[in-house]
Amino acid sequence: MTDEEFDSDAVVTLEQGAGGKAMRDLVSEVLTAGLPDDSLDIGREAMDDGAVVPIGDRNVVFTTDSHVVHPPFFPGGDIGRLAVSGTVNDLAVMGATDVRALSSAVVVEAGYAESDLERIADSMARTCREADAAIVTGDTKVMGHGDLDGIVVNTTGVGVADHVVGDDGLSPDDVLVSTGEVGRHGVALLAEREGIDFGTTVESDVRPINGVVDRALSVAGADITAMKDPTRMGLAGAASEMATKGGVGIELRQDRIPVPSDVKGASEMLGLNPLQIANEGIALLGVRPTAAADVLAALRSHPDGQDAAAIGKAIDDEHGRVLLDTGLGTRYLREPATEPAPRIC
């Protein structure tokens, strides 16, 4: 069989949708083939959390996500809260904490309970209020029962950034800061799906973080060199991408990474590494060393930043790699090529 014949039989796999390397390959090879991309500061080729579109004298940040999470209701959140938070957070980590408009496009299967749709809409409304954002336009489509399992919610956002922050700006010695605890979303989802009883219920961290990120930006401005939200591929995936794009290595200290004890216990039982699992309510910030103390204090002054911690730093070695200092030694922390959990967001 020639390569060409092999390619013509190729099909999309679940792994390609999980947000890791396989998906980035699919997106860059297929979906961006031949699309024009001129005059953008951060466009598709950068594969950041969104794109920067200059309009008048403003830096408009534009980002989209479709949400297919299963189950749609889970401890700590639901697909509506996830959709609004996911889009607000992608704007925020590019510096656009000022969310100007959100759109909501819902595809639902015929037979879906209107009461569930109302719960989702109410949750989107509440989450918008938390983020000081508004859904200003929308679309609804219904697919036949059997053509779709449940509901798909797309949210797209437009924000304005005074100071655009990419995920590629790390320099050696920059301090890596997490705005909060790690591992909650993925563990909450998988525990709910597997129906495992850990004695306690792990809740997802899903929340809009533009408020807490804005605290950091307002004290440190350009001293925040890079930001990313560690969603589908977890802390390991986000740190790995920041290292690759910044042309640096990253050294993390395990004892500094805030992993809550219930997440530790549950992820052990599930056989998962909490550093490789999805978060929906935190950001990773690269901060110039001189500004790190101010940024930590600013983050901790916000209700969503109480657990903020300096978890490591960028190094001028091991470019593109993430090292984890466990206290007993140092090992590579790898980005999983495929995520073990489909439909986690």
Angle at 138 between CA 134 and CA 142, to 5 degrees: 140
For its own copies, the closer of residues 125 and 222 by Cβ is 125
Please name the helix (run of DSSP H) or strand (run of DSSP E) that holds residue 250, with its range, or none. strand 249-253
| Residue 327 binding its own copies, by CB under 8 A | no
How many CB atoms are closer than 10 A to CB 132? 14
Q: Kindly identify the residues of this chain, within the stretch 11-50, that bind its own copies according to CB under 8 A.
A: 11-18, 23, 26-27, 30-38, 40, 43-44, 50
For its own copies, the closer of residues 39 and 261 by Cβ is 39
Q: Tell me which of 1, 2, 5, 111 binds its own copies, using CB under 8 A.
A: 111
Minimal distance in Å, beta carbon 242 to its own copies? 19
Write the DSSP assignment of 285-322 as a string of letters.
EEE-GGGHHHHHHHHHTSGGGTT-EEEEEEESSSTT-E
Q: How far is the C-alpha of 43 from the C-alpha of 38, rounded, in Å?
A: 8
**Contact between 24 and 238 (Cβ < 8 Å):** no
| Residue 156 binding its own copies, by CB under 8 A | yes
Query: Which range in 9-17, 203-211, 234-242, 326-334 contacts its own copies by CB under 8 A?
Result: 9-17
| Residue 297 binding its own copies, by CB under 8 A | no
Q: How far is the C-alpha of 300 from the C-alpha of 303, rounded, in Å?
A: 7
| Of 303, 322, 321, 319, nearest in space to 311 by CA | 322
| Residue 68 binding its own copies, by CB under 8 A | yes
For its own copies, the closer of residues 139 and 316 by Cβ is 139
| Residue 74 binding its own copies, by CB under 8 A | no
Q: Tell me which of 88, 124, 175, 187 binds its own copies, using CB under 8 A.
A: 124
| Residue 328 binding its own copies, by CB under 8 A | no
Helix (H, G, I), strand (E, B) or coil at 333: coil
How many CB atoms are closer than 10 A to CB 11? 5
| Residue 293 binding its own copies, by CB under 8 A | no
